[in-house]
Amino acid sequence: MNKEEAKAAILSLSKEIDQHNYHYYVESNPQISDYDFDMLLTRLQQLELEHPEFAYDYSPTKRVGGDITKKFESVVHRFPMLSLTNTYSEEEIIDWETRLKKVTDEEINYVCELKYDGVAIGIRYENGILTRAVTRGDGTQGEEITANVRTIRSIPLKLKGNFPDDFEIRGEIFMPLASFNALNAEREEIGEQLFANPRNTASGTLKMQDSKVVAERNLDSYLYGVYGDDLSFDGQLSAVENAGSWGFKVPTKEKKFIERTTSIDGIMSFIHYWDKARHDLPFEIDGVVIKVDKYAQQRKLGFTAKSPRWAIAFKFKTERVETLLESVTFQVGRTGAITPVANLTPVQLGGTTVKRASLHNADQIEKIDLHLPDYVFVEKGGEIIPKIVGVNLEKRSEAAQVVGFLDHCPECHAALVRREGEVQHYCPNENGCPPQIKGKIEHFISRKAMNIDGLGAETVDLLFTKGLVHNAADLYALTYDQVIELDRMADRSADNLIQGIKNSTQVPFERVLFALGIRFVGETVAKKLARAMGSIDRIMHAKYDELIEVDEIGEKIAISVQQFFLDERNVEIIHRLKEAGLQLEIVKKETLSQKLEGKSFVVSGVFNAFSRDELKEVIESNGGKNVSSISAKTDYVIAGENMGPAKLKKATDLGIQILSEDEFIQLLK
């Protein structure tokens, strides 16, 4: 392929992938399979590696992140980002509308919108290209987080249609409930403290220094405010509809996310509808916003010192109910973490019947000063299960007893431990505590791990109870004759289970590593560790310094990995999984060339065009070898920003050739 053909192919692929992104993330209407999409993206990435001079700044490959931002620059807003007047009172909405009508005799159209519980953002586009994204900050200036916003797939990098040459669009970035719950479930599995709510998690994510982590968090957005000079539309609703035609994810009338009305009755109808329907949304809202539609009327109404007179936000009251705390039970997770759960007299909250609420840990129980029996206040926000936020002390009886935390495991009676700096209590008897044993096996067979068809939690419980399995390796020793004897197990189910176990031997190494359930090694860390080390044998024998060289692996994870493989029982399980034929090393990818054959590389620092993992993949796909530490046998060091001075000195002292990112690209050519 010559240069002109490559340029044309990159442009064509970019447009095709952008269109599929729009169908998937904006319209929720995918046109191709995930696999086919990944193949298109892989092809584009390869072409951009071979011809970096033709890679566009708005290329869809930029969505995966990889930029490291040490400091977020403070930026003055072109148009101030004023906050809205908030109210919880319908009477104040009526008073607001009455005041507006005293200022103008004209009929007023109002636009009602959802008030998304996220992070306010202003994004500038010049000639249809995303050039800058800035947080609200204090309304006058905010922080530039462009690299992180680029990773959000519902925000276009390049626009379509008849858009203004230079404008800013504003809206909210939020974390969908499914993403938040999945993130917390993963943190719970590895024994990490849970995030409090989606809004705070979205805010913290957008301030992360590594945009690759931001990309993995699956943030979303709705954009709805257009600001600029000489805009071609005359009001809020028209602006939103135009923005939708340029490729933005905007609130639509079809979903009832936005509505125009001429009356206070219409406003109240919108408020009442969403006060109930908000519980069915896949993201959180905390109210509705009412705006005067026409820009000319907005200008006439003007501003106060802090907010526009032509807009107001009605906030829903946080749902809180009172009910009786009947008991507190303690659950044991697969990592041994002990989680206290409040059992409540059933009560309606947010459209569902609540019987249990999370207490999280001993500190939370002590903070609330919980007694039995207490009448407690329960809220349901972004929590996976509802949360107790307080106690009605007026109803506490003199006979009420303080709720204390356990000293021993409720299942195996081992003495609990609480590690320094951690909030959880743990049962240390991981190989003798039934919930931990079953929990590890359930994690091993889960969808993101081995994904074994025909095997679920109930069957794991039966297999454990019958003494057939005590760890993951035992699954691969099961026979049809053993399985068919289980309760409610028919011929076909037994066949499916045995076949599912057999098929799982083809699951790739990074998922097998995740399935092992090493503490702090979640799905993302397992991928990075597997790709960096290449095989289970290398991980088992890796030194501490080698482990912390891997992206995103710090002291806590490195120590956890080493401790896992110091346990002879875990090593024995690995040997048995090897004998069963599981994939315990990375399958070598197809080699693109032998340009780097026989050459060894150390990659260090932060890069612009690639992440470190991407650089390592390019090296291997062109015949080179990645090594973790510099020695006399190292051929090249590829040095990015912030490369450690000790490494630089060692490479210089040994006379090893040091390449910049651009020099490495030239070497490939």
Assign 173 to helix, strand or coil: strand
**Distances from the Cα of 264 to the Cαs of 90, 276, 492, 537, 593, in angstroms?**
10, 19, 62, 70, 69
Element (H, E) at 441: helix 434-445
Per annotation, catalytic residue among 7, 71, 101, 115: 115
**Encoded tokens for 559:** 């120590």
> Among this protein's residues, is 115 annotated catalytic?
yes
What residues have CB less than 8 Å from 386, skipping those under 6 apart? Answer: 349, 354, 356, 357, 358, 378, 379, 380
Report how far residue 441's alpha carbon sits from residue 458's, in angstroms, rounded to the nearest whole number. Answer: 12
Using CB atoms within 10 A of its CB, is residue 608 exposed (0-12), middle (13-18) or buried (19+)? exposed
Kindly report each contact of residues 133-136 with a partner whose C-beta sits within 8 Å and lies 24 or more positions away, as own/partner: 134/75, 134/77, 135/206, 136/81
Complete edge-to-edge strand list for the sheet that includes strand 311-315: 86-87, 311-315, 285-292, 110-116, 258-261
**In the block, which residue shows the tokens 């299960």?**
385
**Distances from the Cα of 58 to the Cαs of 147, 157, 173, 230, in angstroms?**
11, 5, 20, 26
Distance, C-alpha 194 to centroid of its chain: 13
Element (H, E) at 665: helix 661-668
Report how far residue 11's alpha carbon sits from residue 287's, in angstroms, rounded to the nearest whole number. Answer: 42
**Encoded tokens for 455:** 């095997």
Report how far residue 160's alpha carbon sits from residue 169's, in angstroms, rounded to the nearest whole number. Answer: 15
- Supply the DSSP symbol for 405: P
Assign 402 to helix, strand or coil: strand
Nearest to 461 by CA among 478, 433, 442: 442
**Distances from the Cα of 540 to the Cαs of 301, 535, 547, in angstroms?**
69, 9, 10
Beta strands in 421-497 (DSSP E): 425-426
Residues with a known catalytic role:
115
